[in-house]
Chain A
Amino acid sequence: MGTILNVEDINVYYGSIHAIKGISFHVDEGEVVTLIGANGAGKSTTLNTVAGLLRSKTGKIEFLGEDISNTPAHKLVEKSLALCPEGRRIFLNMTVKENLEMGAYTLDKGTDIAGEIEKIYDLFPRLKERYKQVAGTLSGGEQQMLAMGRALVSQPKLIMLDEPSMGLAPILIEQIFDIIKTLHSQGVTILLVEQNAQAALSVADRGYVMETGTISLTGTGAELLASPEVKKAYLGS
């Protein structure tokens, strides 16, 4: 199993705010890796930097062995890297089907796009029932499924999920995590950012704990779940 994503010593700023302070981490093929941490720790900033929406001042980001530190965001989908961003950011004025078609934007002309979208409907049957509906009228859970589906249409080698459970009812959170497990069993590599540390560490092979722009702790999902620091800070016990 090779390394799919290798992030080395990145520093990211918003103007004068130093949001990411020299972190390094990696994700291997087939793994589910989670980044957990409190509000403002820098989790989204990290994912957005990997996705090319933000730039690091130092270090490098390698994806499938290629340095992508300076690759424009829109070129990364073709390279098989997808981000399902925080707050879903689906296209609210477009239909469910059109949103999924946007997810298939970079697929070659010859690809059976309808067939690829059908695979997403198998994963999220709810979306199939509502394919003609304008995305803005979907429920929060359905919107999250659409956001995940949209990121999966292109069959990325690595999918980054930024707080997929945010704002959802417990039953829906469970559904989202079931889907993450399904994807894992299908061999999809996942980098998962979550506030819901318990659930995230339970599905993850490995995890990193972020604290104000740095990585303070790392280990397997089980190790972190058992760690006293994590228990105290994130699991509320």
Chain B
Amino acid sequence: MSFLNYLVSGLSLGSIYAIIALGYTMVYGIAKMLNFAHGDVIMVGSYVCFFAMMRFELPPVIGVLLAVLVCTILGIIIEKLAYKPLRSAPSLAVLITAIGVSYFLQNSALLLWTSNPKVFNSIVGKGSVNIGALSISYVTLLTVGICVVIMIVLTTFINTTKMGKAMRAVSEDKGAAQLMGIDVNKTISMTFAIGSGLAAIAGVLLCSAYPTLMPTTGSMPGIKAFTAAVFGGIGSIPGAFLGGILLGVIENFAKAYISTEFSDAIVFGVLIIVLLVKPAGLLGKQVNEKV
């Protein structure tokens, strides 16, 4: 494989990280919490799509839409039952709860679907586009394309719509946002809905590229995407995008040119170096001190 091929598959993996990282970063920006169960929502989305396609023989598009729907609702329920009661609790309590929700989802999946890996059928055909020595699979094209579309739609939503601006207001100052008449609880719920819907899309794309589906499928990509969000600057939407893409590319190059076993260590090493130089991440804002 050539350099370009490694780059392209890195971009594809990075796009998946970016879509997951958007969920982490939006929830962090608005609810000021790390939703460690986010990775497991990916897994749930993948199972929903898997069963829709394999068991009920529905077309892939319907499978994806069902996955998005289920995860959106799941996100809203998780927030309402697990996190909303802890709104004024210490952040450590919220963090532990998030870890608990993560285990709950994984163990529920284990009970429902067992630990036997399922072979996920890609939502697009196996073919690829060849340009000279460079070969780009349909899944890769779709993944990168969807990531770009999500990025554009989300940025436009946040910057131009009333709801999007309200989200930015809540992320800056919840009290002041309430004084504007913004319902903070509704906004947080909405953020979980969007993040979880995106997680479902990421899950389907992930399993289309790496077809083994298990109850723990979401964990590692979840952690990597969280790293990507921190790398790009947690709370920043362009940061999540940039962080995700860079992480995917670095990981793939590390695997190709250095060592498969050490690729994760290299990825986290780069993260540590970036955070030493830029503690708020690549595009993160330094925290504004409140008067």
The reply to whether B168 and A93 form a contact with Cβ atoms under 8 Å apart is yes
- Which of B176, B180, B183 has the most chain A CB atoms inside 10 A of its CB? B180
A89 contacts partner chain B, Cβ-Cβ < 8 Å: yes
CB distance from B72 to the nearest CB of A (A): 23
Q: Which of A102, A103, A136 contacts B288 (CB 8 A)?
A: A136
**CB within 8 A of A73: which of B162, B166, B173, B179?**
B179
Measured between beta carbons, the chain A residues less than 8 angstroms from B181 are 74-78, 105-106, 154
Interface residues, chain B, with chain A CB atoms under 8 Å away: 162, 165-166, 168-169, 172-173, 175-184, 285, 288, 290-291
Q: Are A102 and B182 in contact (CB under 8 A)?
A: yes
Contact with B along A73-102 (1 / 0, CB 8 A): 111111000110101111111100010011
Across the interface, name the chain A residue whose C-beta is closest to B187: A74
Q: How far is the CA of A6 from the CA of B222 in the complex (A)?
A: 53
Residue in B closest to A89 when the chains form the complex, CB atoms? B176
Contact A74 B169 (CB under 8 A): no
Interchain CB contact under 8 A, B175 and A53: yes
Answer whether residue A191 sits at the interface, using C-beta atoms and an 8 A cutoff: no
The interface bits of chain A over 30-74 (1 if a CB of B lies within 8 angstroms of the residue's CB, else 0) are 000000000000000000000111000000000000000000111
Q: How many A-B residue pairs have CB under 8 A?
A: 72
Would you list the 10 A-B pairs with minimal beta carbon distance, nearest first? A77-B181, A106-B181, A89-B176, A73-B178, A87-B291, A102-B180, A74-B178, A105-B180, A105-B181, A91-B172
> Once the chains are docked, how many angstroms separate the CA of A78 from the CA of B181?
7
Q: Would you give the shortest CB distance from A39 to chain B, in whole angstroms?
A: 14
What are 15 pairs between A and B in contact, CB < 8 Å?
A: A53-B175, A72-B178, A73-B179, A75-B181, A83-B179, A85-B175, A92-B288, A98-B165, A101-B162, A101-B165, A102-B166, A102-B180, A105-B162, A105-B180, A106-B180
Q: How many Å from the CB of A139 to the closest CB on chain B?
A: 15
* Interface contact B169-A94, CB-CB below 8 Å: yes
- Which residues of A have CB within 8 Å of B165? 94, 98, 101-102
- Are A89 and B175 touching (Cβ within 8 A)? yes
Of the candidates B162, B173, B183, B290, which one forms a contact with A91 in the assembled complex, judged by CB atoms under 8 Å apart? Answer: B173
| Complex: chain B residue closest to A52, CB-CB | B178
Distance A94 CA – B176 CA, assembled complex (angstroms): 13
Closest to A78 in B: B181
A157: chain B residues within 8 A (beta carbon) = none
Q: How far is the CA of A101 from the CA of B165 in the complex (A)?
A: 9
A103 cross-chain contacts in B, Cβ below 8 A: 180
Is A150's CB within 8 Å of the partner chain B? yes
Please judge, given known A-B contacts A87-B291, A92-B288, whether A74 and B184 are in contact too, CB under 8 Å. Answer: yes
